[in-house]
Structure 1
Amino acid sequence: MKRTIFIILALLSATLIGCQSEEGGTYAQDPDNQKESKVVEHALGKTEVPVNPERVVVIGLEDMMLSLEIPMLAATGVEGQYLYDLLKEEDIHIIGTVGAEYNFEAILDQEPDIIVASESPAGRENVYERLTQIAPTITYDREDWRESIKAIGSVFGKGEKADQVIQTLDEKLEKAKKKVTDSIGEDQTVAFIRPTNKDVQVFFPGYSYTSVLYDELGFTTGALVSELQENEEEGAWGSVVSLEKMPELTADYLFVTVGSSLATIEDNEQASLALEEAKKLPVWQGIPAVQQERVYVVSPRHWMLNGPIAESRKIDDVVEALTTN
């Protein structure tokens, strides 16, 4: 009798203790529905999530999830955004969003098993807490997409796929760098700006959205950008300057965007019209790159976000701009 009781207790103990996961989390059995779970460490903490979730809702990390070919029940998006058509093709329900506002009711309606969200803006006050009230939520840094895609891949059993995505993009970068250098030579300077009808945002090297130009394709900045960066705090995304400073922007090539990644089509159209008006100003005409016809307007839809799909499209933009005669 004692031997029988000992065996039963041992079996119960093994069930409760579970086993160690590949990610360092602990597997456990839910006694009610027998679903396995594991604890995952992420940008905003540690969360117990189902091992094989069937109803995955994604907020802001759609680029990485699509690249990893992880099935999604629903994701956020707005018409005109660079992933919108891809999400529709995959028959993924799109939770409409403009900017960084979350539609909590629409997320709740999906009855998710798990929510995979961008650390920002999930890290804002009460946002993450509200998401966790709907379903277990794990968050990752969209800007540091290389590390994040590896972490997400590990959670969903797509580690090898994550490595493959990174390798494919790195190979594309090397080919693009050679092609551009063969076309325009070395030691060329570029600048990336977002003008309005009142002022201009000048982005710095190292800023995640535009770092592909500098850190990865190897361009340097002109004197004005370097001067502005010296006067800002370390790690600043860039600087806002008056339109009157534009003739001092002496970069050999100028990349320009207007609007934003998650704005409505109408808002981005208005921003484009404002750019056309800015182009008529004498200060715009005084920009050296404008005089040399080396100005290239690119879409904010993928330039103002991060992820392997966005980065790939940025590379395509640069290659097309600087290698087309």
Structure 2
Amino acid sequence: MKTTRNVVTTAASLALMMGMLLSSCGANNSIAESSAASAQPSAEATTDAAPQARTYTDSKGHTVEIPAEAERIIYTGSDVGDMLALGVTPIGAALGIIKEQVAFPELLDGIKDIGDLLGDAEKITALDPDLILLDSGGTYYEEGAFDTLSKIAPTVTYDRLETNERLRMLGDIVGKQQEAEEWIASYEAKVKEAVAKLNVQTGESASVFLLLGKEFYVMGDKSFAATLYHTLGYTPAPEIQKNLIDANERFANISNELLPDFAGDWLFVLTDEDDAARSAT
């Protein structure tokens, strides 16, 4: 049986915050630079001087006229931290579980919950947005949602790209290109510092377990786990690679008897800050 050398137990809320700010639920996190021009949809100003609007071709091929400087943005999807990283506070977002479990809930002050990940049309209409960002990278995406939201305000779909590409893309849409580059530079500096402090060795494996009450879940390579594998350089434990990542599963509920099979050299155990959960670890 494999012996796990290191165990790190932390609050799930902290991990969710990291996932919200640093990773996409549906995209790998990489510290490698990538060409923004090759990955981003195209945008061009409709006038030469101080345009009030411009055309933008989004991830689904829609050509949309959007404000040059949107002020009332609705953000659908699960990574509202992308907007916060750009210095943009949406007037509405799909907060869901994030609202209850982020480590710093004050960051969500002033953001109205718009319902599920595709947004509730009635709630969005009431907020009178001038731009809607619609997550098209999830399996729940429906073209009908774009049609509905487009009747409320200019709507742009976006894909779940790698972190740097995604921030550059969103920065382009909302006119925060410089802020995106500044955040990326700061993040990559912190990554290098973290890797040095952790002394991550080549081939060193890791597992992420989520403990909610008495229930154990093992995570694939999304959210916090994506940061470990794709940014910090840990290798997924073989069973995680085979049963979750290769199968495109985000997480799986497992019995205590199977825990050793999914254990890497490092165990990152996320709890819900419940006393029973902490005592179980």
Same fold (TM over 0.5): yes
The equivalent position to 2:107 in structure 1, one of 56, 81, 86, is 86
The equivalent position to 1:192 in structure 2, one of 181, 195, 208, is 208
Counterpart contact for 1:143–1:209, Cα < 8 Å = no
- Structure 2 residue identity aligned to 1:118: D
2:218 maps to which residue?
A: 202
| Gap runs ≥5 in structure 2 | 1-40
1:312 maps to which residue?
A: none
2:182 maps to which residue?
A: 164
Normalized per residue, which structure has more helix?
1
1:219 maps to which residue?
A: 234
Counterpart contact for 1:23–1:154, Cα < 8 Å = no
- Structure 2 residue identity aligned to 1:49: I
Report the TM-score, using the length of structure 1 for normalisation: 0.59
CA distance in 2 between partners of 1:227 and 1:63 (Å): 30
Q: Secondary structure at the match of 1:126?
A: helix
| Gap runs ≥5 in structure 1 | 1-21, 30-34, 259-267, 280-289, 291-325
CA distance in 1 between partners of 2:43 and 2:149 (Å): 24
CA distance in 2 between partners of 1:249 and 1:160 (Å): 42
Counterpart contact for 1:43–1:119, Cα < 8 Å = yes
Q: Secondary structure at the match of 2:230?
A: helix
Aligned-residue CA RMSD in angstroms?
A: 3.5
Report the TM-score, using the length of structure 2 for normalisation: 0.67
> CA offsets per residue over residues 127-154 of structure 1, 9 Å max, x none?
2222112111112234633212111212
**Does residue 243 of the first structure (1) align with residue 256 of the second (2)?**
yes
1:64 maps to which residue?
A: 82
1:300 maps to which residue?
A: none
CA distance in 1 between partners of 2:180 and 2:65 (Å): 22
1:100 maps to which residue?
A: 117
Q: Find runs of 4+ consecutive structure 1 residues off by over 4 angstroms.
A: 184-187, 195-200
**Does residue 45 of the first structure (1) align with residue 65 of the second (2)?**
no
Q: Which of the pair has more CA radius of gyration? A: 1
Task: Report how many residues are paired.
Answer: 233
Per the alignment, do residues 119 and 209 of structure 1 end up closer, same or farther by CA in structure 2, a change over 3 Å counting? farther
CA distance in 1 between partners of 2:241 and 2:70 (Å): 48
Structure 1 residue 199: deviation in Å? 6.4
CA distance in 2 between partners of 1:175 and 1:107 (Å): 41
The equivalent position to 2:44 in structure 1, one of 19, 25, 29, is 25
The equivalent position to 1:174 in structure 2, one of 175, 182, 192, is 192
> CA offsets per residue over residues 111-167 of structure 1, 9 Å max, x none?
111112333557235322221121111122346332121112122332222112111
